[in-house]
Amino acid sequence: MPKIFEYLGITILFYSNEHEPVHVHGKYQKYESKAEFEIVDGKVINITYKPVKGRKPLPHNELKEFKKLTEAFKSEIVTKWIDYFVYHKEINCIKIEGKIK
C-alpha cells in the first residue's frame, strides 16, 4: 500500500493490488474516497470522485482538499501509478506543507 502524498491529515495512496482505471484513494481517519483519472492521448482530461465500498466517504472539507490535491498533482499521480504498477519502481511519499490554492 504505497503512500504517495500526505496533505492536511489526508493520506493519498494506491493499494498494491489495484486495477484500472488509474485512481488513488484519499484516507482521513475512518473515511475514504477515491479519484479516478480519465486519460486521453497521455493527458488527464477528467477526474471523477467516488465513495469506496464499505467505507464512509471523506467529509466535505477533506474531500474539497483531496480534490485540490488530485487536480494540482494529476500528472505526478499518473506518473507514480505507471512507475509503481508498470515499472515496479519504489514510490516515495511526499508531505505537502500548507494549503494548496
Mean pLDDT over 71-91 rounds to 94
* Cα 94 to Cα 44: distance, rounded to the nearest angstrom: 21
29-77: pLDDT as tens digits: 999 999 999 999 989 999 999 999 999 999 999 999 999 999 999 999 9
Average pLDDT of the chain? 95
Distance of CA 69 to the CA centre of its chain: 8
Task: Quote the cell numbers at residue 101.
Answer: 490554492
- Say if residues 13 and 4 touch (Cβ distance below 8 Å): yes
71 DSSP 8-state letter: H
Q: What is the pTM of this model?
A: 0.93
| pLDDT surpassing 90 at residue 25 | yes
